[in-house]
Structure 1
Amino acid sequence: MFAEKSTALQRHGKRFMLAGKKVVFLKPSIDDRYSDDSIITHDGKKVEALNVQITNEYKVDLPFDLLNEADVVCIDEVQFFPGQMISHIEHLIAQGKKVFVAGLDMDRYGKPFGIVPYLMAKADHVIKHHAVCAFCGDDAWVSLEVSNDSSQQVKVGNDYKPACRQCAYERGVK
């Protein structure tokens, strides 16, 4: 949260657009923060994106017709996609497409989040962005829950604050 992951993803995609490449941006349907059909950063930068429906915890409906035409695929909030997304990403890469993903690597408990650890292990390059700790100003390490919701999903806004290790430990994250 607030580490500018979506901003970096947009920047990668726009760079390839300038080179004349066809770029497709994807976002999970669960991400309804600002728009259903765009990736919008916290500071208002916007790029059109396809809203991908996650039909259940195992299945995702991808627009393969559009992805087959793409040179570059940029996927935001990848931690919310089910495990099936890994094989789709590997298939896109095998087709010679460049794939960029952005997402949280840890949940609110400081545990690996969704498919992100696997994708990080398989990636050619990993850039780990850090937000600023909302409590002390150091580099944040985790999105710390400040509400009482019991789901694993990390939300946006007042429910979560970026926290460094020390501040997270002081607030009960182990």
Structure 2
Amino acid sequence: MEPVHIVLMGVSDSGKAALAAELVERTGFTGATAEELQPGELQEMMAADRFVTPDERLPWAYAIRDWMTDQARQGHSTVVVSLGLGRRARDIFREAEGFVFFVHVHATEDVIREKIRQRTGRESDAAELEVLRRQYAELERLRADEPGVRLDATREPAVLADAALAALSVARQA
């Protein structure tokens, strides 16, 4: 059977990490976070609290694609967390060997700001809000030719995993 790659996308704090953990537990797929696959030069930029542009993140997209291909060649399916907000990055991900399926964990900006407040116990500062604003500006919805599903970030990870796996099953049969 062809390896499957479930690529979780969405803005920061949308709940991708919790969903990834749930999916890895249920499927036994190999999991990775975007941070684990991030090239060193991007780590330095982000550590300096610098917003990294989509063009600057392209090496990251290629690193994720290459990791997925390496895992597929070893016979492993994967769950990977990535911003993957734009079509260009997702096109790169789809070059990986295996079946690539996107799960867009989505919520409105006010919902995400509330999730951040609940997690941190404080209101977002201007820099955090700017990063979030830029992520939403960059976000491109999945298109009809991109196998995937858009899910409500306000739902519990178990509910999201149910929906993601059901949508994946349908997409694989199509």
TM over 0.5: no
- Structure 1 or 2: larger strand share? 1
Higher helix content, 1 or 2: 2
Q: TM-score, normalised by structure 2?
A: 0.39
How does the TM-score come out when normalised to structure 1?
0.39
Q: Greater relative contact order: 1 or 2 (C-alpha under 8 angstroms, separation 6 or more)?
A: 2
